[in-house]
Structure formats: structure tokens, C-alpha cells
Amino acid sequence: MSLVTKDELIGKLKPVYMSHEIDGRILPLVDEINRLKKEKNAVLLGHNYMTPDVFWGVSDIIGDSLYLSKMAKETTADIILFNGVHFMAETAKILSPTKKVLIADMKAGCSLAESITREDVKKLKAQYPGVPVVTYVNCSADVKAETDVCCTSANAVQIVNAMETDTVIFLPDEYLAGNVQNQTSKKLITHPGKCMVHEMYTPADIQSAKRLFGGELTVITHPECHEDVVKEADFSGSTSQMIDFIRMSKTDKIMLVTECSMGDNLRAEFPEKEFVSTCQTCPHMKKITLEKVRDALLYEQFEIFLDAEVIESAAKSVNRMLEISYKK
């Protein structure tokens, strides 16, 4: 099962890769990976920040953190290979504990996940007894196990507003917290974590692009950017919400304030639109290459293992998020 035919894939890869790379490296690897997937009954989940060869070439399901966790829970495959970063693969294991969950490179981390430990959460809980803890999914399974409800950038405001208290501990992204604070009457207690990609953007980046392109430019940011950057934008949302906004809007000149591969993948999906990307690369996401994806399937490496206690406690916070988010 592939998202696109071979001809469509070549069309999507052409704006980004040289012809000899498509023919000599990418297509043979795509064939090999798709064969291995079938043989092993594996499903490949691809985050929107994957490079186009991984994203369009071998992913069965693509999306943002929220959608991919929902799909990890629902899959009937024997193996889940998560093409994203480590915390995403851990989330898949939490939601599908009996499945073999793999990631192509264990070192594909995240600056936000690294910013906080389970001990830090315990300390905050002791400092603010009775205050619920909402944690961004960009954290370790250990941290999720200490959390009341998880959230993603797609549902952070909804989850915070679903809490019954006036004060909420919101971890670990300080900038996402700032953006949520601007949309809720609840008081948020925060932690100084940041995304190393989105913290690089400044309001001046957007102001100068707007001066250059004038009113025809539509600026779209991820809410991991500082609130002053988000205030300059026309729209802010999770990676999939950004894509949906582009799909629905008539705008044809777009500045993406997010990770580089989003721009490459969107250029392939919307060739009629112009993307003015001042992109920043996530070194963690870029650890996932087609070669490593092939090896991960071939050798069934690298497997995510979690303690039963961590899975049980973390599943409560992730499932609570899914219940609130997808409630009918």
C-alpha cells in the first residue's frame, strides 16, 4: 500500500532531487522497502517533517503528531515503523503495547523532550498540589506517565479548557504555552522548554518578508514559535492544520514558518502555489533516511521497549487526550 503511484512519486520528487538520485538511489530503495513492508505486515507512519523520499515514497499514513498517534492505536499491522522522532515512536508503543514498534534511528530526539524529566514533573506537582498537569506529547514516556492529560499543537487549547481548575500546569514548551495562554482564561504554570527549530524565528523575519511581498503573502506559523512571531502570522496551527489551511485557502503565495521538509512536501502537493520558505532544519527529524528505514525493516531494528508501569500510566494521559480530542 503506497500513497502515490510510481509516476506520481517521480513527479513529487523532481522539484527536490536530481534525476540520477531519483533513479539510482530513491526508487530502488522505495521498491525494496515496499516489498519488506508487505512481507512483514508492517505499517510506516510518516510525520509531516520527513524528507519527500520518506514522506511520499514509503509512508502508508502521513500526518501530525495527533493523527499519527490515533492511527498507531488503530492499526492491525504486526510492526509499526515510526518515521518521526523518538517520542512519537514511544507514543505508538504506549498506545499499541503488544505491537513491535521500531524507529530507524534511536538518536532522533527532540529538544523539547530533552528539556524535562519525570522528577521535574513530580516537583511541580508537589509545589502545586491538586493542579492538573497537561503535557505536550513532545516528551518522554516517563514524563507522560506523570501527566494527567497529554496534548499536541492541534488540540492544546481544547485540552487546557477541558480541565476543571482555573490553573493548569502546562509542560514543557514555554512558547506553545504562551500561545495557549493567549487563547484561554486559565492561568498556565510553565516550564522553560523550547523547540530548537521554531525558537529560531523572530517577528522581524515575517515583517521583512511582508515588506518584500506585500499583501499577497500569507504567513503560516507553527505554535512552537514565540507568541510575538505567531501574532505576525495569518494562521497558526499543527503541521496538519497548516496543510488543511493551505488546501482550503485561495492564497497562492505562502510563507511557511516551520521545518524545511514541510515546504518540500507541500511544494510537491500544491505545485500551483508558491512557497517562500525561510526554513529551519530539525536535525533530529533528518536522522531518518531512506537507507535507515530499509535497514530498520530488514533487521527489525531499533525496537522501542518501555516498562509496564510506564506504559500503563502514560496510556492514561495519551488516551485521555484522544478521548477529549475525538469526542463526537
Contact residues: ligand SF4, CB under 6 A: 85, 110-112, 138, 195-197, 224, 259, 282, 284-285
115 binding ligand 13P? (CB under 6 A): no
**What does 288 interact with, of ligand 13P, ligand SF4, none (CB < 5 to 8 A by kind)?**
none
148 binding ligand 13P? (CB under 6 A): no
51 binding ligand 13P? (CB under 6 A): no
**Using an 8 Å Cβ cutoff, are 220 and 235 in contact?**
yes
Distance CA 122, CA 43 (A): 36
Nearer to ligand SF4, 138 or 147 (CB): 138
Distance CA 92, CA 105 (A): 15
218 binding ligand 13P? (CB under 6 A): no
**Using an 8 Å Cβ cutoff, are 93 and 308 in contact?**
no
179 binding ligand 13P? (CB under 6 A): no
Residue 263: CB atoms within 10 A of its CB come to 19
Nearer to ligand 13P, 176 or 206 (CB): 176
Nearer to ligand SF4, 284 or 294 (CB): 284
48 binding ligand 13P? (CB under 6 A): yes
Distance CA 309, CA 120 (A): 18
Q: Which of 96, 111, 236, 239 binds ligand 13P (CB under 6 A)?
A: 239
Amino acid at 170: F
C-alpha cell at 185: 482564561
Q: How many residues of this chain bind ligand 13P (CB under 6 A)?
A: 13
Q: Which of 22, 33, 37, 65 binds ligand 13P (CB under 6 A)?
A: 65
**What does 64 interact with, of ligand SF4, ligand 13P, none (CB < 5 to 8 A by kind)?**
ligand 13P
Distance CA 233, CA 257 (A): 9
**What does 194 interact with, of ligand SF4, ligand 13P, none (CB < 5 to 8 A by kind)?**
none
261 binding ligand 13P? (CB under 6 A): no
Cα distances (angstroms) measured from residue 14 to each of 10, 18, 154, 255, 279:
6, 7, 31, 21, 19
**What does 290 interact with, of ligand 13P, ligand SF4, none (CB < 5 to 8 A by kind)?**
none
CA 48, chain centre distance (Å): 7
C-alpha cell at 139: 516528551
Question: How deeply is 35 buried, as exposed, middle or buried, from its count of CB atoms within 10 A (0-12, 13-18, 19+)?
Answer: exposed
Residues that bind ligand 13P (CB under 6 A): 48, 64-66, 85, 138, 152-154, 195, 224, 238-239
